Amino acid sequence: MCMTAHHQEALAGLVYSVCTRPGLTVLTGEAGTGKTTLLYALLDLLEKRRFITAICTNPVLSREELFDFLTVKFATNCTSPLKSRQLDALQETLLRNRMDGRPSVLIVDEAHRLPMDLLEEVRLLLNLETPREKLLQIIIAGQPELTDILHRPELRQFKQRVSCQCKLNPLTLEELREYIDHRLAQAGLPQQMLFSGPVIQRIYEYSEGIPRLVNSLCDGSLQTGFAAHTPQIGIAIVDEVAKDMDLKRIAPRGFEPLGPLEPVLAAAAMKPANGHAVAIATSQSNGNGAPPPDIRVPLESYAGRQKSLSFFAQLMDRWK
C-alpha cells in the first residue's frame, strides 16, 4: 500500500477514533480514491491487536439481514428471530469481548447506499454501552454524497453522533508520480524509466488523481506498449488508452499546461538519491517583470512513508 499524506492522515484518524472509542466515525472520498483499501489496512492493524472486527461491504440489506449479519460476525449465540432477544445477546457478547480486552468494531462500506431505516438502526447500535464507554465502535465509509445524506433534517440525531470525520482526496501530481513509482517498484522494476514526467502529467489530467483510474490507464498503457514493442510509454499511447476508456482530458484547477513548467516537471522526475527536497527556480519572469517564485518539489521516497506505519502501531499501543 502506498501511503500518501492523505492516506496517512485518514488512517491516523481512524486509528485514533477506534482507540479512544468515541462511537461513530465517518470516512468519505470519491469513488476509486482507496477507501476500501484503507479500511482493510485498518482491519489488518486491528486484528493483530486482538480487536474483533466485522466489515459489511454490501449495505443494501433488510433489518433482519443486518441483525443476522451482526450475530454471525460477532459470534453471538442467539437462535431467536426476535430483535429484542438478538440485541440482548449481542450486548452480552460485546460486553464479554470488552472484558477480555478485545474491543469490537463494525465497519460499513458503501454507506451512501444505506437505506434510511438502516441508518437509524446503525445509530441505535451506539446505545450498546456501559456507563463508561461504548461497546461497539462503528465506522461508515462512502462517497461524498454520504455527507449530503447526513445533512438531512431527519438525520440530525445521527449526525450528532459523528465524533470523527476523515476524508480521502484524489492524488496530487507529485503523489501520483510517487504512486506509480511505488507500484512499479513492488513489481520488481529497480528504476522507473517507463513513464516520463510529461506522460505522468497526461495520466494525471485524464485520471484527475483517482488511483483506480490511474491503475487502469497505466495497465492499459503497459499492454499497448508491450504489443508495440516500445521501451517507454509515450503520450500517444496514453491518449489511445484514455480514448478506449472514454476518459476526457481535464486540466486540474490552478494547473498550467505544459510549456513553462516542462523543465520543472522534467527536473522533478529525476529524483536525487538522498531523499531531500530540492528547490527549483525558473529563470523566466511572470510577465510583469517580477521574478517567479521558487517551486519546491518534495522528493521523499515512498519507502519513507511506508515506515510511518510504525506510528500507527505506537498510537494504538498508547490508546489501547
Looking at residue 224, which CATH number applies to its domain? 1.10.8.60
- Residue 164 and residue 182 in one domain: no
With a cut of 50, say whether residue 258 has pLDDT above it. Answer: no
Q: Assign 131 a pLDDT band (cuts: 50, 70, 90).
A: confident
Query: 290 vs 151, which has greater pLDDT?
Result: 151
- Residue 149 and residue 237 in one domain: no
Contact assessment for residue 166 and residue 7, using Cβ atoms and an 8 Å cutoff: no
Q: Decide if 320 is inside a domain.
A: no
Question: Which residue in the block uniquely carries the three cell numbers 516537471?
Answer: 265
Contact assessment for residue 200 and residue 177, using Cβ atoms and an 8 Å cutoff: yes
pLDDT at position 309, please?
A: 54
- Residue 133 and residue 237 in one domain: no
Kindly state the DSSP code that residue 100 receives in the 8-state scheme.
T
- CA atoms of 122 and 74, how far apart (whole Å): 15
- CA atoms of 318 and 313, how far apart (whole Å): 9
- CA atoms of 249 and 247, how far apart (whole Å): 7
Kindly report, residue by residue over 31-66, the tens digit of the pLDDT: 999 999 999 999 999 988 889 999 999 989 898 999
Contact assessment for residue 70 and residue 90, using Cβ atoms and an 8 Å cutoff: yes
pLDDT at position 229, please?
A: 92
Number of domains the chain contains: 2
pLDDT at position 315, please?
A: 58
With a cut of 60, say whether residue 90 has pLDDT above it. Answer: yes
Poorest-confidence range of 104-108, 185-189, 209-213? 185-189
pLDDT at position 250, please?
A: 81
Q: Write phi, then psi, for 170 (nearest 5 degrees).
A: -60, 160
- Residue 13 and residue 155 in one domain: yes
The beta-carbon contacts of 188-194 under 8 Å, at least 24 apart in sequence, are 193/232, 194/222, 194/225, 194/232, 194/233
Contact assessment for residue 123 and residue 134, using Cβ atoms and an 8 Å cutoff: no
- Which three cell numbers, joined as nine digits, stand for 45? 492493524
CATH code at 29?
3.40.50.300
Q: How much is the average pLDDT of 145-149?
A: 93
pLDDT at position 314, please?
A: 60
150-186 in b/e form (b: 16+ CB < 10 A) is beeeebeebbebeebebbbbbbbbbbbbbbbbbbbbe
Question: Which residue in the block uniquely carries the three cell numbers 521523499?
Answer: 300
- Residue 135 and residue 204 in one domain: no
Q: Assign 311 a pLDDT band (cuts: 50, 70, 90).
A: low
- Residue 64 and residue 164 in one domain: yes
With a cut of 50, say whether residue 255 has pLDDT above it. Answer: no
Question: What's the whole-number average pLDDT of the chain?
Answer: 81
- Residue 202 and residue 159 in one domain: no
**Maximum C-alpha span of the chain:** 80
What is the residue range of 184's domain?
173-305
Residue that is last in its domain, among 169, 188, 213? 169
Residue that is last in its domain, among 169, 187, 203? 169
Note the pTM of the prediction, 2 decimals. 0.75
pLDDT at position 254, please?
A: 46
- Residue 112 and residue 134 in one domain: yes
Kindly report, residue by residue over 188-229, the tens digit of the pLDDT: 987 888 999 999 999 999 999 999 999 999 999 999 999 999
pLDDT at position 198, please?
A: 94
- Residue 118 and residue 22 in one domain: yes
Within 10 angstroms of residue 233's Cβ, the number of other Cβ atoms is 24
Q: DSSP for 118-185? A: HHHHHHHHTT-B-SSSBSEEEEEEE-THHHHHHTSGGGHHHHHTEEEEEEEPPPPHHHHHHHHHHHHH
Kindly report, residue by residue over 233-242, the tens digit of the pLDDT: 999 999 999 9
- CA atoms of 306 and 314, how far apart (whole Å): 14
